[in-house]
Each structure stands twice: as C-alpha cells, then as structure tokens.
Amino acid sequence: MAIHTFGPGTLTVTPTGGTASQFECQVKGVEITSEYEEIQEEVQYLGDGCFEPATQSRNDSISIEIDHDLTATGMYQFCQTYDLQQADFVYVPNINMGTATPAQWDGTIVVTSPNVNADEYGARIDGTVDWAGVGAFTFTAAADTAPAA
C-alpha cells in the first residue's frame, strides 16, 4: 500500500474560453468534498421483488487554503475577473505520486472569490476559496506507485 503526501503538486485553473493559470505557489491545503442528493425515492410495486431503486446525484466541491498574492497574476484577482463564471481545473496533489501518471482530480467549477484574513500586524494575508463543482469531479488514480522515500 502506498500512502501519498501533499506536494510538490500543481493546481491549474482555466476559465471557459480563457488562458490557464497556475496557483500552486499560493496553496497551503486542499479539500475535495462529495455531496449526494436523492433525486428519486425507491418505489415498491405489488409483485414480489419488483421495485425501482432510489437514484442519487453527486456534486463535488473543492476548498483551497491559500496565502494571498494580491498582484494581477494572483488567485484573488483571477477570482475577481472570473467571478461566477465556469472554469476547468486540474489538481495534482503530488507530481511524484506515480512515475507514469500521478493521481489527479479534474472537473468544472464555478469561480467565486476567497475570503481575506489578516490576523495581526505583519502576518501573512490568507484565506480560503470554496468552489462548487458543476457535477462530479473525475479522479484519475496514479498509474504506478510513488518511489520509496
């Protein structure tokens, strides 16, 4: 069994019809969440064993802890520019997680702006961006195991 680590990785976000931007040098943590919603309840019929199973849909989201780069090429400006627009993303938590193909998540999100926190004088300005997915993300498993540490 191979246990994988966070980093060195990549986060690439490409707005619909736009140019890809990379933000891994701002990312401190990532959480991918799946939420399930029942869209039809199970239906039982008179006949023995006759039923339609319940059906569900899945929507994913990605939450990213960042240290803010407040320049024109930082994530905050990207989010302001593409606020409420769709974008494709590819998140690779560790580029060394499989020498042939590292594990990754990809999908489409709706861009929203992160919060901005400044706890005390001289502290880094940080925040979290929560991007709702458009449907489910795709997970691609690593093609082979990472080299031994």
Which range marks the domain in which residue 97 is found? 10-36+56-140
Task: Compute the distance between CA of residue 73 and CA of residue 93 in angstroms, rounded to an integer.
Answer: 22
Asked if 76 and 114 touch (Cβ cutoff 8 Å), the reply is: yes
pLDDT of residue 116 exceeding 80, the answer is: yes
Number of H helices, E strands in the chain: 1, 10
Q: Is 101 within a domain?
A: yes
pLDDT of residue 113: 96
Single-letter amino acid code for the residue at 84: L
Joined together, the tokens standing for residue 130 give 């929560």
> Looking at the 3D structure of the chain, how many domains does it have?
1
Q: Is 44 within a domain?
A: no
Task: Compute the distance between CA of residue 116 and CA of residue 140 in angstroms, rounded to an integer.
Answer: 32
Q: Is 83 within a domain?
A: yes
Q: Is 129 within a domain?
A: yes
3-state helix, strand, coil in the chain (%, to 5): 5, 45, 50
Query: pLDDT digit string (tens) for 52-75?
Result: 988 889 999 999 999 999 999 999
Predicted TM-score (pTM) of this structure: 0.85
Joined together, the tokens standing for residue 73 give 């090429």
Query: pLDDT digit string (tens) for 118-146?
Result: 999 999 999 999 999 999 999 999 887 65
**Cα 124 vs. chain centroid, distance in angstroms?**
23
